[in-house]
Chain A
Amino acid sequence: MTEMVGRVLGTRESTPLEFWVGVGEGEFLQLDDVVALERVLPTGEVVRMFGTVGQVVARHEGARFDSDVFLIEDGILPAEVSEAAQVTATRFEPEIFVPPRPGQPVRIAEAEEREQALFFDRMDRRVPVGLARNGAPLWVNFEFVNGDRGAHVNISGISGVATKTSYATFLLHSLFTSGVLGQAAINTKALIFNVKGEDLLHLDRVNSRLDDAERSRYADLGLPSTPFTSVGLYAPPRIDDPRATADVATRPDVTSFFWSIHEFCDQDLLPFLFADAEDDRAQYTTVVYNVMAQLRHAEPTETGAAVIDGVKVRTFRELADVITERVQSDEHRHRWAGPAIGTGTINAFVRRLQASVRHLGRLIRSDVPDPDRHRIDLDGHQVTVVDLHNLNDRAKRFVVGVTLRKAFEEKEKAGQSEELLMVVLDELNKYAPREGTSPIKEILLDIAERGRSLGVILFGAQQTASEVERRIIANSSIRVVGRLDSAEAAREEYGFLPSVHRQRATIVKPGTMILSQPEIPVPLVLEFPFPAWATRAAEAVRPLDGAGPKDPFEDL
């Protein structure tokens, strides 16, 4: 048991939820300190109380005017400096909610007491999520991640501070390497969408900037300071490249991904081309679904191309042209576009479709041999990174929507929730905006609401939670906040943060996050270590085993 740092104040109200502590002479309390105290009830029963410091104030006692500070410092007016800390209660043991009495001694909770104060002792399966200011690990109850009692992680924070994806990847690293997954670790997979630069295409490479201090922080968390060991990398093919090599500048061993024309037809992928907010309001949704139904009749060929109404289609341009011709021709319009559809609506649909050719052409094609090799395979590696950063918004939505739907459907079929699929998706506001509906938003909502029981865990991130569909945020058990701009921090979406934490969210530095989890009534302010994996090409230690240049003649 540590020594007393102060006593409960009697000049401010002391409640079971919040009380103030006068800091003793020669002692100090800082934000996020964990404290403990006891109260003996008249019955003789001892109630142990725990809490965290949310605010600390220092003032001159004996001064009445602001200018008194000068008199006091000049040694003219007698006064004392007093420090008081506001403590938010976290736990009562047993749960008898009486206020602490003024004058009761308060001590810093360390070791076991700290674990109790933050409910870490009750977490049978726990994941390290960062370090407290004093270097002690902070944990999250895995049962609120894996779907047992809750699932999903949501991360908010302004961009440019580049901590949202860093933190999401750190969480993945922690989940994979802390041992919390047990046997299921082997078949637990992660799917990461890379939206910015080629940042996440080096997850499997050692970070040359990782120093010993950072390594020891990993050690403090009980985690290895190693990069991800099993990473599959996918990127879109280069535009107009007949060999469909991946459009990546910083490493050669990335597989390009695309869908065959037949897959596009057979798997009902057309609606994912029309997933913009404006598409939602447009009249042509009926046309989209009618065309989709027609495309189902496409016959496959050996190369993945499709035969539609007797026409062989090998590229997306050809496909778009066939569809255009069918919806516009008097002969086929009734069947393809639907009955009683106006020419204006059909033209609007055609305009959209044709406009998407330029961006989607490289992603939907059957002009490359061995198309199976270019299918995104989530089972091949522990972590699969799908690069989106070179795609425009329409193409991004298509890739995210189609990939997520496939992953979700496979999980549904497997009906196995023990082996998790963790999906990391930044810019959630683009895919599941607060207003409107789209096929992608439907899938994300499905994941948010049903993914928990299927073992699909969403690690969503966005700059501003206020712009994301409420139900997705509401279904996230773990909420993390990095730096917020002050107007955003004031919004109700961050109601889980006490006002002091909201203020702090506007000033936290990169590498610091505020994390809220259902079991602990106060958010934890944590720091996470510098990534052990390269976050850009320049950081990567090279050469890596097997990561050398690919055989340039392989495709020949």
Chain B
Amino acid sequence: MKFTVEAWDSDYGAPTDPELTDASENVDVSIEVRSENWRPILPDDDGAGDILFVDGVRRVDATLWIDQPPDFPAFALAATYAAGAVRCNGGAVLEEFAVDRGLFTSAPAEDVHTTVGTYGVKATKGTTPEELWLGIQQRMGSLEAEVTRAAGGAELLVVDGPLSHARDIDNAIGYVKTQKVQYLPLELRQVLTSLPAGYRTPLFVTTTSWSRYSWYLRLANHAGPAGGLVRCEIDADRTVTEAARIANRVSASLPRYASARHKDPRAPQNLYPIGGLERDLRHRLGDKERAMRALRIASRAVA
């Protein structure tokens, strides 16, 4: 039996979902080159000298039950989340960051004041844990967008994850580490799996609620079907030529920031500046035990 060991630490899952959702129907692969001419492209660019990396982290501090007699208490999550931006232009400097706390629930609720800060009510659409988590994710996304705006422009602005929240910001690029969706039709997947390190695929356009240019890039040679593979996306509100120029610039810039296997459990996709930023932000979330204790004290104070 021949097998490969995934480069990512299994705690983080795999960079490629074992069952990719096939979305190739909504994809146009013939915009930069015709599908029959798909070949790996070596980006012809020196790379950007001024890049802003944006990321966020989140943590659920405690699960709360909000009294609503005579009914069964309502479910809520008290969470702390943070977003920050690191500028790499010779030095890597944390340029901007923000930390916020929220009480995520769909039930009627009030802000909870504690010694570590105030958990403001953030209404969610539904009551299930998944919906509450999604609420946290969205708030964190908005915070990332806020931080990105506050950080000022850059030659490239790499947002960790899909572009959704930041697509109106100039030079913003969505950087997707994990592949959950299969965008390419079967006949082009060979180009993807044989992509050499430092090469990108031609552009393709995907359309969901909005349209975006997308391409795959191999950062480095690593084991596994998606070893060292990432997908980047930019807003489709520009010409193909312009989009190709950006794709080349991004693809020439990012491999330099790819992390080494022993330094990051999600190497190489988790880029050094983002890994460093995440550690820094997690530190800024404060101590979880303390947040938990503060919430307990606050719960008694109300009673």
Using a CB–CB cutoff of 8 Å, the interface residues on chain A facing chain B are 62, 64-65, 68, 71-72, 75-79
Q: List the A residue with the shortest CB-CB distance to B279.
A: A62
* Cβ contact within 8 Å between A64 and B263: yes
- Name the residue among B92, B256, B280 with the largest chain A CB count within 10 angstroms: B92
Residues in A whose Cβ lies below 8 Å from that of B94: 78
CA distance A486 to B237 in the complex (A): 71
CA distance A2 to B95 in the complex (A): 31
- Name the residue among A62, A68, A76, A79 with the largest chain B CB count within 10 angstroms: A76
Q: Of B89, B90, B92, B262, which is within 8 A of A78 by CB?
A: B92
Give B196 Cβ to nearest chain A Cβ, in Å. Answer: 22
CA distance A72 to B91 in the complex (A): 7
Q: Is B88 an interface residue (CB 8 A)?
A: yes
A65-B263, A71-B272 known; A76-B279 Cβ under 8 A: no
A62-B276, A62-B279, A65-B263 known; A76-B256 Cβ under 8 A: yes
Q: List the A residue with the shortest CB-CB distance to B94.
A: A78
Residues in A whose Cβ lies below 8 Å from that of B273: 76-78
A62-B276, A62-B279, A62-B280 known; A76-B263 Cβ under 8 A: no
Residues in A whose Cβ lies below 8 Å from that of B93: 78
Q: How many A-B contacts at CB < 8 Å in the complex?
A: 36
* Cβ contact within 8 Å between A75 and B89: yes
Q: List the A residue with the shortest CB-CB distance to B90.
A: A75
Q: List the B residue with the shortest CB-CB distance to A64.
A: B263
CA distance A209 to B277 in the complex (A): 59
Q: Is B38 an interface residue (CB 8 A)?
A: no
- Name the residue among A62, A65, A78, A79 with the largest chain B CB count within 10 angstroms: A78
Q: List the A residue with the shortest CB-CB distance to B262.
A: A65
Known: A78-B92, A78-B276; 15 extra A-B contacts, CB below 8 A, are A62-B276, A62-B279, A65-B262, A71-B92, A75-B88, A76-B256, A76-B257, A76-B272, A77-B92, A77-B272, A77-B276, A78-B86, A78-B273, A79-B92, A79-B276
Number of interface residues of B (CB under 8 A): 19
Residues in B whose Cβ lies below 8 Å from that of A68: 263
- A to B CB contacts below 8 Å, 21 in the list: A62-B276, A65-B262, A68-B263, A71-B92, A72-B92, A75-B89, A75-B90, A75-B91, A75-B92, A76-B92, A76-B272, A77-B92, A77-B275, A77-B276, A78-B86, A78-B92, A78-B93, A78-B94, A78-B273, A78-B280, A79-B92
Give B303 Cβ to nearest chain A Cβ, in Å. Answer: 30
Q: Of A64, A71, A72, A78, which is within 8 A of B277 by CB?
A: A78
Lowest 5 CB-CB distances: which A-B pairs, in order?
A: A78-B92, A78-B276, A78-B86, A75-B91, A77-B276
Residues in A whose Cβ lies below 8 Å from that of B256: 76
Give A65 Cβ to nearest chain B Cβ, in Å. Answer: 6
Encoded as 1 (CB less than 8 Å from any A CB) or 0, chain B from 252 to 282 comes to 0000110000110000000011011101100
Residues in B whose Cβ lies below 8 Å from that of A79: 92, 276
Give B108 Cβ to nearest chain A Cβ, in Å. Answer: 40
CA distance A64 to B275 in the complex (A): 11
Give A174 Cβ to nearest chain B Cβ, in Å. Answer: 51
Residues in A whose Cβ lies below 8 Å from that of B90: 75
Residues in B whose Cβ lies below 8 Å from that of A64: 263
Give A135 Cβ to nearest chain B Cβ, in Å. Answer: 36
CA distance A47 to B91 in the complex (A): 43
CA distance A72 to B263 in the complex (A): 14
CA distance A71 to B93 in the complex (A): 12
Residues in B whose Cβ lies below 8 Å from that of A71: 92, 272
CA distance A78 to B151 in the complex (A): 15
Q: Of B88, B262, B280, which is within 8 A of A76 by CB?
A: B88
CA distance A542 to B279 in the complex (A): 72
Give B48 Cβ to nearest chain A Cβ, in Å. Answer: 12
Give A149 Cβ to nearest chain B Cβ, in Å. Answer: 51
CA distance A177 to B94 in the complex (A): 59
Q: List the A residue with the shortest CB-CB distance to B263.
A: A65
CA distance A77 to B275 in the complex (A): 8
Give A82 Cβ to nearest chain B Cβ, in Å. Answer: 13
CA distance A64 to B263 in the complex (A): 8
CA distance A62 to B279 in the complex (A): 8
Q: List the A residue with the shortest CB-CB distance to B51.
A: A75
Residues in A whose Cβ lies below 8 Å from that of B263: 64-65, 68
Residues in B whose Cβ lies below 8 Å from that of A78: 86, 92-94, 273, 276-277, 280
Give A327 Cβ to nearest chain B Cβ, in Å. Answer: 85
Residues in A whose Cβ lies below 8 Å from that of B88: 75-76
Give B92 Cβ to nearest chain A Cβ, in Å. Answer: 4
Give B263 Cβ to nearest chain A Cβ, in Å. Answer: 6
CA distance A62 to B263 in the complex (A): 13
CA distance A79 to B86 in the complex (A): 10
